Amino acid sequence: MPADVGRPGWDHDETADSFLGNALGKATALWKDVGGAYTVLADDSGICVDALGGAPGIYSARYGQEEAGRKLSDHEKNLLLLKALSGKTDRSARFVCALALVVGPHRVFTAEESWEGAVAPTVDGVHGFGYDPLFFLPNLGVTSAQLAPAEKNRLSHRYRACRRLAAVVTDLEDFA
């Protein structure tokens, strides 16, 4: 966390046109801000819905706030997403997570993974956060918010991306 390296309240504008670009932007900016004294890991993630042309996508965290003039709660964003899908038959969607690890000026590693599913017709489940109550897993017949946290973590896009970077970190330690 930026506060852990003396940067409480640190933020970076997400201006890239991809999850990976935003993760790289955050990681690189914080790495430079701390003078390269720390290895920095940053992520960007969200839900992409095919029937909405990939929206909310990189705007998942800010979905609907411009129209509302304020930041929406997770529940409000879920209801807005359901409204946007009203009358649409294609409900395929995926969670995407991009991670960027900056070790040095020329030592930058990334991973990007997805978790395929669909948008459920209603909000269901109590675990997780964000779009989890809407993210339906057809092969399991539940939303990700209905999974036990350990099961969700084992299947998720974040877990997959973290596993990829964990292999890089292990390799870095071997050559440190």
Residues with a known catalytic role: 44
CB 127 within 8 A of CB 146: yes
**CB atoms < 10 A from the CB of 59, how many?**
13
**CB atoms < 10 A from the CB of 100, how many?**
26
Amino acid identity of residue 170, one-letter, is T
Q: Which residue has the tokens 């964003």?
A: 77
Strand (E) or helix (H) holding 154: helix 149-155
Half-sphere exposure of residue 118, counting CA atoms within 13 Å on the CB side?
A: 14
- Give the integer Cα–Cα distance in Å for 85 and 90: 9
- Give the integer Cα–Cα distance in Å for 110 and 82: 32
